[in-house]
Chains A and B, each alone.
Chain A
Amino acid sequence: MEQNRFRCHASVIIENLGGVFWFAVLMLISSMDDLDLGEVLSLLEEGNASAKEVLMIVGIILAIVLVVLAYNWVVWAKTWISIEKEAIVIERNLLNRKVNTIGMKNISNINMEQNIFERIIGTYKIKLDTNSATTADQTDVKIILSKAKAEWFKRQVMQRMNETCEEVNEEAVEYDVQYKAKDIIMHCVYTASPGAVLFCLAFLVGCVVTLNSVNTGAVLLDGIINVLGSLLAVIIVVGSVFQSLVKDFFVYFGFKARRQENKIYLTHGFFKKRQYTIAVDKINAVEIVSSTVSRVLRRQYVKVVCVGVGDEENENSMLLLSEKTDVMKEKLSILLPEFVIGEPTIISRHKKSMWSELLSLLVCFILFGAIAVLLGGMNVLEIEQMWVRVVIVIACIVIWLLVLLADCLSFKTAGIGLEENNLLVVLGTYSKTSTWIPYSKIQEIEYSQGPIARHFGYASGVIYILATMIDSINATSYFDVEVFEQIRAKMLERKGKK
């Protein structure tokens, strides 16, 4: 463990092979399976052209497999990682010599992750992220090491970052927040999209009705086979919807969080075990989200916005799962007392700002009105069935009313709160997201005014922070220009200002 220059675990060769390699291997296996090698060889001796072609294809696939394998082996063999006093250096001595130096002071997060393959092999994937806006949408460095070496690496890096990193016995350590399987299932229900919930309910009702009809009718083997066949088809269709409902259960299985000094430690995952270490001073915002279902049931979950957590596919920056407001506040005050969620006076949208949306509503009204009149009233498509025309007219009215409802809801939800240290931006239509941003973390603000907004003295704005592409932009609704001037003044306050 003493040497400071080392390579990744050899299993990285297999992990980096990628889809093309496994596709080629599968092709090779299936072609070998179909081939009668003796017959091909005898045909080859006879000078058969197709036998030559078959062998050539197999040879090409085999060559691709070997080349990919050899390339990954060379990359592994020629890549060296070293920990220096102020930086981590990753050297790759292939045809071009590439040296990637990451300054310790720029590292924002060092996280550990294990997928099923890594759990079997006994390795960990170490993910390093730096405080950079240009690389905020991806993990900067991924290193695969054996468990002991990964823990040693993390300790070494954190020591050099002037952070303490004690050896943690997962079983013995006490977490501030823990969720049981029931809580996680409830979180999945609260955060499910209404469409998915309705679809699953309809599916269950359909199943019951179908099975009931089999029971009451003549129980024939053919009937059961037909029903099972239809059910199988429905299950396949519903599968993707159902997967979206249960996916979160496996992602957040065993969710635990604890606060120690200036760090938050998170661990969760059923198949892929994730361990995140979040530096509190690197948190740029806290989001409190109520999805459509949880808004009705008065629940909310908490996400943190920072570089290094939640910047990859299937990665989430969840801090607390769905909770009642008072429980959420209590738990948040343990994990993140810096973001004590107060009750600021919410400034509502500028009353006259409805004028800015009138145009889009009018366009929508004209568009759907024209469809209803042309297809329903004048019947330009010469639809014979009267009920189809009635459905078209009703659909147009319903869509327009939904657009109007969405506009009214977003108008009602939108708000801004100016606290002493934090800015609160509330947005949402059917769901609601309250984003708490410390003024010191705002990188830039922008507000825009069209002719109507200029006339009435309001503007819509954007608050920029350091985060992934989606999280970095926090758009606000229409507020009085004075509100943006107040945010500007707060943003410009700093330590040591003369």
Chain B
Amino acid sequence: MVHSSALKILRITHAVVHEERGSMDYKKLDKKALTCMYVKEWIGSIIWIVLLLVGNFLLADEIPTFVSYIIYGVVVFIVVISLIAPKVRYERYRYLLSEEEFAVRRGLIVTTTEIVPIERLHKIEVSSGPIFRAFGLKEIKVTTAGGEIKISYLTNEVADQIAEHLKIRINAIAVEERKAEAEEKMMLQQEQVVANDTYTEGEHGAE
């Protein structure tokens, strides 16, 4: 029974790994992130399990037996999920940082891909909570006028590099755009001058 369940878990994770191999541009998180994910998941799970079991124990005389069985079922479900979910999440978690965009793909059952053009970034926030600090990890949150996206579980070095890269790119893009606008303006002015000259020549010709 245990053997077949373990095989199933292995098969699921293998499928996820296989599925994610296709997206080569996206980077995978460091191994430290997996341990951190397990710790975070287990902390949450332990809190829920304790609450459910204590509640079940205290209300044992007042609730029907089938409710107790449901509670035990939920506890088993939480345990199974806390064993599988971090691994699946870790395998699916990908981020992408290019010259123009910042993207992240994550999820357990439903995978979500969020893409933000670096040009639209308003704010970059690098933070790290106590659990993240214990593992030497950080989280980057970028804000645009339409919302925000974050990449969690990045090692300190990678997070700092990404933040630095984003800052440099934002400035570079702003310079490129200003230059392009100035060129566009100049071209328009030149076109106007040419048009005016043609008009004046035409008038003189008519005279």
Contact = CB atoms under 8 A, between A and B. Distances in A.
Interface of A: 131-133, 442-451, 454, 459, 464-466, 472, 484, 488, 491-492, 494-498
B94 to A, nearest CB: 13
B30 interface: no
Looking at B109, B145, B177, which has the most chain A CB atoms within 10 Å of its CB? B145
B112 A443 contact: no
B110 A450 contact: yes
B110 to A, nearest CB: 5
Given A494-B173, A494-B177, A496-B177, A446 B146 contact: no
Given A448-B112, A449-B111, A496-B177, A443 B145 contact: yes
Looking at A132, A445, A465, which has the most chain B CB atoms within 10 Å of its CB? A445
Interface in B146-163: 146-147, 149
A444 B179 contact: no
Contacts of B119: 494
Q: Is the interface of B mostly helix, strand, loop or mixed?
A: mixed
A352 to B, nearest CB: 17
Nearest to B112: A448
Contacts of A491: 115, 117
A496 B110 contact: no
A445 B179 CA distance: 27
A447 B147 contact: no
A222 B110 CA distance: 68
A233 B147 CA distance: 48
Contact of A451 (B100, B101, B109, B115): B109
Contacts of A132: 145
Given A444-B120, A444-B149, A447-B112, A496 B179 contact: yes
A133 B176 contact: no
Contacts, number: 80
Nearest to B114: A446
Interface of B: 19, 100-101, 107, 109-117, 119-120, 143-147, 149, 173, 176-181, 184
Given A449-B110, A464-B146, A443 B116 contact: yes
Contacts of A443: 116, 120, 144-147
Nearest to A487: B115
A454 B146 CA distance: 27
Contact of B115 (A445, A495, A497): A445
A87 B119 CA distance: 25
A454 B176 contact: no
Contacts of B111: 448-449, 454
A444 B180 contact: no
A139 B146 CA distance: 17
B146 A447 contact: no
Nearest to B174: A496
A133 B110 contact: no
A444 B176 contact: no
22 contacts: A132-B145, A133-B146, A133-B147, A444-B115, A444-B120, A444-B146, A444-B147, A444-B149, A446-B113, A446-B115, A448-B110, A448-B111, A449-B111, A451-B109, A459-B113, A492-B100, A494-B119, A494-B177, A496-B176, A496-B177, A497-B100, A497-B176
A107 B162 CA distance: 32
A451 B110 CA distance: 7
Contacts of A466: 145-146
B80 to A, nearest CB: 18
A472 B146 contact: yes
Contacts of B101: 488, 492
A488 B116 CA distance: 9
A459 B114 CA distance: 12
Contacts of A495: 176-177, 180-181, 184
Given A444-B120, A494-B173, A495-B184, A133 B145 contact: yes
Contacts of A133: 143-147
